[in-house]
Amino acid sequence: MRIDIITVLPELLESPFNHSIVKRAREKKLVEINLHQLRDYSTNKHRNVDDYAFSGGAGMVIQVEPVDKAITALKKEVDYDEIIYTSPDGEVFDQKMANHLSTKKNILILCGHYKGIDQRIRDHFITREISIGDFVMTGGELAAAVITDSIVRLIPGVISDETSALSDSFQDGLLAPPVYTRPAKYKEWEVPKVLLSGNFKEIEKWQMEQSMERTKKLRPDLYEKL
C-alpha cells in the first residue's frame, strides 16, 4: 500500500510514522508513506498557500492553486483509490471505514488547515471527507496520523498475530472484553477463574458476555445498534 499525505506541517507527522507498528510496516515494505509539503507547490515567493475568504470573516483559507498543483503532480505518478480530505464536516471515522480503506492500494490524504480549503478542491478532487470526531483541531495532521495508523495495522503481515487485530474493540460492533495477565492473584485482586480453567468454550462465552455488558454500560449508542 502507498499513502501520500499533503500538509503544511510534515514535521508533525514524522514522529508518529517512525515508531512502533507503522515503522515496522515501512521497514518490511508493506506500506510506503510519503509526506508532501504543500508550500513546495506555491507560486508565491513567500511560499504562502492561504488567503482571505471572499465571504469575509475571521480565518484564512487554503488556496485552490497549490493544492491543484500538488494533487495533479501526484496523480501523474499514482492512480489513487481514494483522495481523502480531513475535515470536521466529514463522515466520522470508525473501524468499518478503517477495514475498508486497508484493502486499498493507493491513498492520498489532504490535511485540512486554517479555516478550510477552497471548495473547488473538494468539488473536483476529493472522493471522501473524514472526521475523527465532533471537535475541531488546529489542523488535519493528527487526524491523518490516526487514520493512517488504523489502516496500516490491518494490512496483512504488519501485526505478527493477525488474530489480535480481528479481536480488537469495534471489529464486531462491540467493545473488547477485559484482559488479564500474570500473576493470577495480586494483593487481593484475582483473575476470573474461568480464564484459568482451560475450557475455551466457557472462556469464549464469558468474553462475549463481558463484551455485551461493557458495551451496554460504556457505549449504549453501539449497544442499541446491535
Domain boundary among 118, 152, 186: 152
% of residues, the chain, pLDDT over 90: 86
What is the pairing mode between strands 2-7 and 82-92?
A: unpaired
> How many angstroms separate the CA atoms of 226 and 222, rounded?
7
Q: Residue 53: how many CB atoms within 10 A of its CB?
A: 15
> By the 8 A CB rule, do 81 and 100 touch?
no
Domain boundary among 97, 127, 152: 152
pLDDT digits (tens, 9 = 90+) for 213-225: 999 999 999 899 8
CA atoms within 13 Å, Cβ hemisphere of 196: 10
Domain count, the chain: 2
The domain of 88 spans: 2-152
Q: Looking at the structure, tell me whether residues 34 and 122 fall in a common domain.
A: yes
Query: What's the CATH number where 174 sits?
Result: 1.10.1270.20
Asked, for residue 186, whether it belongs to a domain, the answer is: yes
DSSP 99-161: HHHTT-SEEEEEEPBTT-B-HHHHHHT-SEEEESSSS--SBSHHHHHHHHHHHHTTSTTSSSS
Q: Looking at the structure, tell me whether residues 113 and 172 fall in a common domain.
A: no
pTM given for the model? 0.88
Q: Is the pLDDT of residue 168 over 80?
A: no
pLDDT score, position 63: 97
What is the pairing mode between strands 106-111 and 82-92?
A: parallel
% of residues, the chain, pLDDT over 70: 95
Q: Residue range 20-47: average pLDDT?
A: 96
Q: Is the pLDDT of residue 62 over 80?
A: yes
